[in-house]
Structure 1
């Protein structure tokens, strides 16, 4: 830091204009004084006057590309970045009162770490600390890189298995659905089971009538041909506000003996509808229901299938419905 002879303020030696008063600081000699011209009398022969001493202009310098830091003030005249403590541009002397401030990027504000501060006498590099910390830091970085690569490989393999292997995809979907139901269940109103007073169907196979889908037994199932869109009809003894269903799809004893529903299209007696997506698994699937308030009956149309290797009918072992308490 130096004290400027032109204005008496203190600042860096390499700047061209004072940050406090804006005074130009780079004269090599004294500042020139303009010569005043004497008035010319009438009819007086005017002798050629010596030219005025040229006013020195600031020397132009080749400036290196600078790195702008968050909080720097950008001069509106020359574009120079200045420290936030300056009042005038260090390059051209322009006032920085209305200059643009360099903003911190959103990701740096969110994830940026503050530099570690060290007390005097405890800085890295003293008494060999830097070398030991450097080796330890390199080992940690190497271990971290290996862990990140292993995680990336595991994620890629999991994605491929999920896309190509149907049982794994079904298990993941079921687990995700159950977890979501558990998490949201904490904030939901208390749900009570609602039992239909009658269950009918638009079609059924011999030995597998519609009421078996609501008999609370997992070893029985409703089955129906799929040549026409099969549907179940649940009728209640009061207007219900259905919020959740637990579905057991297919024949639990032999999953590949029948098709399994992939999508159920629910049509309520109020005229509203809701679509229910199901995974290909015989395990319990908790599925939320919407748009059912005030319904006295609901039709469950099978509009999508998980295809069987052997069977020709679609089957559902059990459907349990729950309403808001």
Structure 2
């Protein structure tokens, strides 16, 4: 939809692959239509027709690229930065609760502005204190190996683990492209070793390697719902449950739909076969750089 006003020179963006996440994205779009009609949202999806009726949407056809789909958000960010100076990535299940100002002062800061981020040593502190799960220990091992591979000091306090559900990316004289390139490279390195998520670690390592600054940002002007974050805020007394109960209900209905045993079985077989195919394809493509990916 090329007629969308891009005067603000920034956009929101998200990923909507599959029916479940298209449904989530539809709710997010409606929130933005109400609370930020002047700001477009770029969506990468395998069903662009789902979003044709929305005037604030710029949709692009996209099929899953990464093994676990988690890293496909990189493609949404890259596509957004082709047309805009900045983009704010949101998971499709995020909800926007209140009107957003026409101007967000923090959006012009070059680099990454993260609603939640921690230094790497802080994020993996359970490993250092022998309280980590086996999955976290495995992830930590790959993070350390990847850091050494790209000549970074993992313990450097300037390298951050970025929570991937809400952050902004703003151009910085080409460093943003180098950041996206290293994200792509490190994503494959992790997935080859069985770590298909952990976007936060990869974002932090890629940014550090590219010299792309990462900052914590309060993100003034964005009032949002994210299920696990809002649950934590309720426990801390920062949010009243009755004010967000309907958002939890909608989240639950979409996230955990009622399915027959047959449908669950078919979906499981598809997920396993899809994962196996993408992993095999990755293993073959990685042969183009054996030194980086295999040695």
- The interval holding the TM-score normalised by the smaller chain is under 0.3
What TM-score does the superposition give when structure 2 sets the normalisation length?
A: 0.20
Higher share of residues assigned helix = 2
What TM-score does the superposition give when structure 1 sets the normalisation length?
A: 0.18
Higher share of residues assigned strand = 1
The structure with the largest alpha-carbon Rg is 1
Larger RCO of the pair (alpha carbons < 8 Å, separation 6+): 2
